Amino acid sequence: MIKFTIGRYLPLQFQYLGYLLAIIGIVLLFTDPGWGGLFLLFVAGLILIIALSTRYIIEINIKNKTYRDHLWFMGYKTGKKQSYDNIDKVYMTAGRVTQTLNQRSITQHLEHTEYNGFLRFSDDNKVHLGSLVNENKMRRRLQKLAKSLGVDFDDLA
């Protein structure tokens, strides 16, 4: 069975929030002993456990020809197993992403290229394997997956 981590479910800011609350809780614990610091440490611990353990994962069983695209949270998996005939290829595409930020008097447009990875099966079904801004990092991850699956990697970027 091959496991490929697509990415984290929660953004990185949740980890930062957990670390910040933990630091504040430790400071409160030493400066003003009481329940406030312990409560903040408890909340920080919950946030960090959730943020660090929740991921999108695809599991591919080559022997049974099944795959499972699911959300993993502390050992619990969501998503159903699906079958396939053959895996055609792993490929990467590039796309322009535009974002507009509006404030009271300023409008800012941000543009960048995002690289998307896909796994295509013989029945033209495809699974999105993630998006990255770093082209080389995405290429390396997808080439490694393609090699472990024994299929071709196409760079369509």
Report the percentage of the chain scoring pLDDT > 90.
17
Chain length of the chain: 157
- Calculate the alpha carbon distances from 24 to 28, 95, 145, 147 in Å: 6, 41, 41, 46
Nearest CA to 69 out of 122, 13, 116, 125 is that of 125
What pTM was estimated for this model as a whole?
0.74
Q: Which amino acid is at 142?
A: L
**Residue 56: its pLDDT value, please?**
85
**Residue 143: its pLDDT value, please?**
93
Q: Which amino acid is at 125?
A: N
Q: Which residues contact 2 (CB under 8 A, 6 or more apart)?
A: 59, 60, 61, 62, 145, 148, 149
**Residue 80: its pLDDT value, please?**
87
**Residue 109: its pLDDT value, please?**
86
Across 5-9, 41-45, 84-88, 109-113, least confident range? 5-9
- Calculate the alpha carbon distances from 78 to 57, 70, 83, 148 in Å: 10, 5, 16, 24
**Residue 125: its pLDDT value, please?**
85
Q: Are the C-beta atoms of residues 74 and 53 closer than 8 Å to each other?
A: yes
Mean pLDDT of the chain: 87
The model's confidence at residue 117, banded by pLDDT at 50, 70 and 90, is very high
Residue 102 CB burial class (10 angstroms; 0-12, 13-18, ≥19): exposed
**Cα 59 from Cα 70, distance rounded (Å):** 8
**Residue 36: its pLDDT value, please?**
78
Please name the residue that has the structure tokens 């099966």. Answer: 121
Domain segments of the chain as ranges = 1-83, 85-157
